[in-house]
Amino acid sequence: MGANLFWVWMVLLAVGVMLIAFGGKREDGTHGASVEWGYLAILGGAFGLLSDHMSFTAVMLLVVLVTGGVWLFDKLVLAKRRQPGTVVPHYVDFPRGFFPVIAVVFLLRAFVAEPFQIPSSSMRPGLVVGDFILVSKFGYGLRVPVLNKVMVPVGTVERGDVVVFSFPGNEKISFIKRAIGLPGDVVEYRNKQLSINGKPVERVSAGEHSYLERGLMMIQNQRYTESLGKVRYDTLVIPEQPVYNPAGVQSFPLRENCDYRDDGFTCKVPEGNYFMMGDNRDNSEDSRYWGFVEDRLLVGKAFLIWMNLSDFSRIGTSIR
C-alpha cells in the first residue's frame, strides 16, 4: 500500500474518532447522525489499513466477528441488565446495527457470488478494462472462507473456464485468466498454436482486431476463435511477436515441469494445479511466466458482466 493511501486511511480513522467524540446527542438522548458517520469512517479506515496485511475476505470476516461479538454480548448480557427506556451506548448500538448487514454481505460474497473489476487487457476481446463481473463462489465447491479449502464438493474446473484466483506471487491480488491445462495435462504452445496432451486446439481465423491500450496506443491483432472442451471463445495474437518473452519468465515452484525453447514451451501440469493463460495471448502475464495455480488459490468461475460504465451494451453479457 502506498504512503498516500496509508495516510488517507489514518485521516479517515481520526475523523471518525472526532465525529464520535464531539457528535453529541439529540433531545431524546439518542446519538446524532454524526456519530453514525464516525463509525462508518472508522470502519472504512480500518478496512483500508487491514487490507494491506490480509485479503478482503479476511478483513470482512474479522469485522463480522467483532460486530457479531458485540451483538451477541448485548443480546445475552447487556440487554438483560438495561433498564427500560435506557439509551443504548453508541459503542454497542452502532456495531450491533452494522452486524446483520455486514454478515449478509459476507455470506453472499463467500458462498454465492463475488464482484470483480477487469483491470487490464489480458482477457480481450471477451473482457475489457472497466467490465464489472460476477464470479460464482460455489462452482468449484463450497469453500471455508479465508482458508479456501473445499468443504462441500460441488463442481470442478473444466478446460476453457474463465477463472478468478489469488495470484501465486501475492495472494492479496486477484487475477482472471482462462483455465487451459488441468492436473496431469501437457500444455504446449508453439508458433501461436496451443496443444493439449498432444492434440492441437481447434482454431479458426476471425479477421483482424484492434483496440486502444490505456488511451495511448492502438494495438493491431489477429483474431482467432478457439474451441476448448465445451467452450468457444476468441483470442488475440500479434503474429510477429514471439510466443513468450524469455526475460519475463520467473523462477516458480515446479518450474522443472516446463521446457522453454525458442519457438515455444511445453509444461506438464502438476496434480492439484492448473495452467492459466489470458485470451490476449501477446499481452498477458500468465502461467507462462509465473507458473501454476494451486487449487487452494481458486476464487471462482466468472459468469456475467453486470456493469461497464463506459459501455452499457455490455451489461448482462455472459462470459464464455
Residues carrying an active site annotation: 122, 177
Interatomic CA distance for residues 235 and 204, integer angstroms: 10
**With contact defined as beta carbons under 8 Å apart, do 20 and 38 qualify?**
yes
Interatomic CA distance for residues 303 and 317, integer angstroms: 9
Specify the DSSP class assigned to residue 319: P
Interatomic CA distance for residues 221 and 210, integer angstroms: 6
Q: How much helix, strand and coil, in percent to the nearest 5, is found in the chain?
A: 30, 35, 35
Reference 315, options 183, 132, 73, 89; nearest CA is 132
* Rounded alpha-carbon distances, angstroms, from residue 50 to 62, 94, 126, 172, 212: 10, 20, 33, 11, 36
Report the SS3 class of residue 164: strand
- Give the type of residue at 30: T
Phi, psi dihedrals of residue 139, rounded to the nearest 5°: -65, -30
Contacts of 298 (CB under 8 A, 6+ apart): 140, 148, 157, 163, 164, 165, 274
Reference 186, options 265, 249, 261; nearest CA is 265
Contacts of 268 (CB under 8 A, 6+ apart): 184, 185, 186, 187, 257, 258
